[in-house]
Structure 1
């Protein structure tokens, strides 16, 4: 009987270990640069190297709707309908922490200067700061449905999507120091340090889709200028001295100079929600055709089918 009990509990331990091991994701080589697509219709992260070759696929049981890299070896995954955000280590594929963030998380941003993780909550209308290990620091209440975020040296700029206000928040003490008027349903931010400007895109509302990118003075919030990039310019990426803008309403990618001059434009994909610079390639995620497009100098070099609903792109460069 004693031998039987020992054998029984040994089997239980082995089953538990096997169960835990099955939750591990494929390890990502810490020296491997990648672009990763967060796919939300088939919840997953798909990792690709510069050539477009698939490195790994992480398939999730949870409906994550957003992700952000924390430093070089961790990624935090969150969802609007999820109570917890999860931090996973890339090099081991293991979940290292689960954070009770509450329902309603709309966006995440990791600030390297202060080693802080910021999350916005569209149900409580809060901006929440955490340490890079996921420990809660502070909360501040903003306007209606905070979502898009970008940062300068000292400040975090947060668009309140269901409002006409952009909140300027001090990164360290999480105090709102200013509010700027913006168009309703604004989305997408880009900080130009060289020009000391903030670029703002957006969807528009109802039967009036937005076709403008509006450029604000980074210090005063004054509207410097606006230019037309139809239709629904919502995503930005930096390349060399120029800015890449994705207008998902017209399935068009623009390369734009700092003054707003269009250098080239290309109709790419179906509903391009995300765009990112990865080494010497531009990568565009086509949400409706489930395809990543690898672009060089305005020309598509490779198309890669991914899991359904590529919604966000994460880029990790060379190790350091």
Structure 2
């Protein structure tokens, strides 16, 4: 009898351990937060901006690389390129509520069509896959090999898709879900910004082989022709824009650049260690240091670091929620 009891206890302990990742500390529904998807220790970190404090990390059991929050402000969708599904969590309940069987290959995703649909970049199938918020796949459109960066031109109802391993940029008509003629760009492109007021597409990159990318390439959206190149050493991989400036994050040199719309450098600062991600939120710049495991809060006007917040190991993507 004692042996049976011990076996039952052991089995129950294993069951509890297996389920321990399914529930987390709920996130207050009225809080404004900025979160990071951390890939080294498989955690999600939450920083409450209203209370100026860290909330408990979520220790997940799957290697997520990115995510997004639905318009209901409660559903957090997480994805990873090695996973067979994308997973949905309720922030207020602190638990997983659903999974969509997508197959492996999802490396990027964003809400499009005013937040009514999701566009996933799938590197296993070399395509952009459109889903409803209820998890129904609407349409799949083939792109060039290994799609990575996706940008939405809301006014034009177009999606621009860049591949790290191919020089041809793909363009998708979002209204009709059709592939349009693209144009040739530089090799090893990564990260971009649509400057629609000037009809421009700014694209960065890592470089290829032993050659490190040290320039931003600016293309004309109508003709696809290269208009100019802007120095931003080294490896400019992420961009964000406000009404006055364009901010460029170069992770190879740990540099943050503040540029004018014509590409002139207004200011620059070294920030973080191997930073990949930048976000403009609540009138502040947030930068995730992948190797320093920190979130840097920067004043966008003067590029002064106002605060540094410790997060999980390997913050790779930033996800935000307004109150």
The answer to whether the Cα contact below 8 Å between 2:277 and 2:288 also exists between their aligned partners in 1 is yes
Listed as ranges, the gaps of 5+ residues in structure 1 are: 1-11
Give the structure 1 partner of residue 138 of structure 2. Answer: 137
* TM-score, normalised with respect to structure 2: 0.89
Deviation at 1:19, TM superposition (A): 7.8
Task: Name the CA shift for 1:29/1:196 in 2 (closer, same or farther; >3 Å).
Answer: farther
RMSD: 2.2
Aligned match for 1:286, one of 286, 289, 292: 289
Q: Judging changes above 3 Å, is the alpha-carbon distance between structure 1 residues 142 and 22 closer, same or farther for their aligned structure 2 residues? A: closer
Between 161-170 and 46-55, the greater mean CA deviation after superposition: 46-55
SS in 2 for 1:250: coil
Q: Normalized against structure 1, the TM-score is what?
A: 0.89
1:281 and 1:294 in contact (8 A); partners too: yes
Task: Give the whole-Å Cα distance in 2 for the aligned partners of 1:99 and 1:161.
Answer: 26
- What does residue 100 of structure 1 align with? 101
Shift of the 22–273 alpha-carbon distance from structure 1 to 2, 3 Å rule, reads closer
- Specify whether residues 52 and 310 from structure 1 end up closer, same or farther in structure 2 by C-alpha distance, changes over 3 A only: farther
| Cα distance change on mapping 1:23 and 1:298 into 2, 3 Å | same
| In 1: Cα distance, 2:178 partner to 2:76 partner | 26
CA distance in 2, matches of 1:272, 1:17: 37
Q: Distance in 1 between matches of 2:20 and 2:220?
A: 51
List per-residue Cα deviations over 1:294-320 (Å, max 9, x = no partner).
112311111122111011111222x3x
1:220 to 201, 219, 223: 223
Distance 2:113 2:58 in 1: 25
Q: How does 1:42-191 map to 2 (within 5 A)?
A: 42-50=41-49, 53-71=53-71, 72-113=73-114, 115-153=116-154, 154-191=157-194
What CA distance in whole angstroms lies between the structure 2 residues aligned with 1:61 and 1:17?
Answer: 14
Q: Tell me how far 1:218 sits from its aligned partner.
A: 2.6
- 1:130-164 deviation digits (Å, cap 9, x = unpaired): 00122111111111100100101210000011111
1:21-78: per-residue Cα shift (whole Å, max 9, x none)? 8612222222211111110001111111337520232110011112122222222111
Say whether the 8 Å CA contact 1:212–1:226 is kept in structure 2.
yes
Structure 2, unaligned stretches of length 5 or more?
1-10
Does residue 1:209 correspond to 2:212, yes or no?
yes
Q: Which residue of 2 aligns with 1:195?
A: 198
Counterpart Cα distance in 1 of 2:315 and 2:24: 19
- CA gap of 1:122–1:159, structure 2 versus 1, over 3 A, is same
Query: Which whole-Å deviations, capped at 9, do the CAs of 1:103-127 have from their partners, x for residues lacking one?
Result: 1111111115261111111121111
Q: Which residue of 2 aligns with 1:4?
A: none
Q: CA deviation at 1:88?
A: 1.5
C-alpha deviation, 1:221, in angstroms: 2.2
Distance in 1 (alpha carbons) for counterparts of 2:271 and 2:100: 37
Structure 1: how far apart are the matches of 2:29 and 2:196? 30
Indicate how the Cα distance of structure 1 residues 19 and 144 shifts in structure 2: closer, same or farther if over 3 A, else same. Answer: closer
Give me the whole-angstrom Cα distance separating, in 1, the residues matched to 2:239 and 2:268: 14
CA distance in 1, matches of 2:177, 2:164: 19
Of 248, 254, 257 in structure 1, the residue corresponding to residue 251 of structure 2 is 248
Shift of 1:282: 1.1
Aligned length: 306
Cα distance in 2 for residues equivalent to 1:138 and 1:256: 38
Counterpart Cα distance in 1 of 2:116 and 2:142? 21
Paired residue secondary structure (1:194): helix
Larger deviation, residues 251-260 vs 43-52 = 43-52
